[in-house]
Amino acid sequence: MALDIKHTFDENTFRHSINGHGFVLHCHHYMSLTTKLAEDFADLGAVRVLAEAAEDSLRPVLESYVKEHGITGPADRLAVACEYYSFMGLGKMTASGSAAGGEVQLPHSHVDEGWIQKWGKHDKPINHFTRGFVAAMFAVAFDKPARSFEVAETASLVMGAPLSVLSVKAA
């Protein structure tokens, strides 16, 4: 499935939009350091904040796309989210599941591979961004409100696994 992407550039503000949402380019240093910041302030709940920020900011992007394109089937909606994930440079994703939960696999991950490039392997999973993204994609796929799915990373590229695996359960 190829995404229908409309990229616009505002000649006045010099801002970029993709399918009507403001977008910006950044790099793996920024993402890795933001992830590290969340880890460093974990005692304040910053890891949760990072995952929820991803869930809340990506959901409108996915939701507007499937609605505008009349995509109603959960499997098709999950496929759209996988395509968006790659379009945004975040890696390669496959997903399957039901309203009760499912599984997501990442043979490639910007968050993990960026972390490895910057600091090397790590002793625990760090892909909090993608946990939030996956919560959003399942909520959109099954027409559920925010925080309807709990996502846990059960295998991780950053720890040396051949692929990252995220387990999804209805909350």
Partner 1 sequence: MTVMRDQVVRQLVQVEAKANDDGLIPGFNVLVNQLPCSFWNTVSERMMAITPPDRKAAMEAALVNCAYECGYHTGYGIITSPEFESVVMPMVTEGAKDVLRGAYAVFTAWGWAKSGIVQIKEGEAMTIRAVDYYEADSGGEGRRAYMIRGVSAAFMELAYAAPYPNGMNTFKSEQTRGIEAGDQFGEFAVTKK
User: Which residues sit at the interface with partner 1, rule CB under 8 A?
Assistant: 7, 9, 13-16, 18, 21-31, 33-34, 37-38, 40-41, 44-46, 49-50, 52-54, 56-58, 60-61, 85-93, 107-108, 110, 113-114, 117
Closer residue to partner 1, CB minimum distance, 68 or 98: 68
116 and 42 in contact (C-beta within 8 Å)?
A: no
Among 96, 91, 63, 67, which Cα is nearest to 79's?
Answer: 96
Nearer to partner 1 by Cβ, of 44 and 75: the residue is: 44
Q: How far apart are CB 155 and partner 1 at their closest, in Å?
A: 18
SS3 15: coil
Rounded to 5 degrees, what are φ and ψ at 65?
Answer: -65, -50
Closer residue to partner 1, CB minimum distance, 64 or 170: 64
The minimum distance between CB 75 and partner 1, in angstroms, equals: 19
Q: Which is nearer to partner 1, 9 or 145 (CB)?
A: 9
Residue identified by tokens 């295998």 is 155
Beta bridge partners of 97: 102
* Residues composing the chain: 171
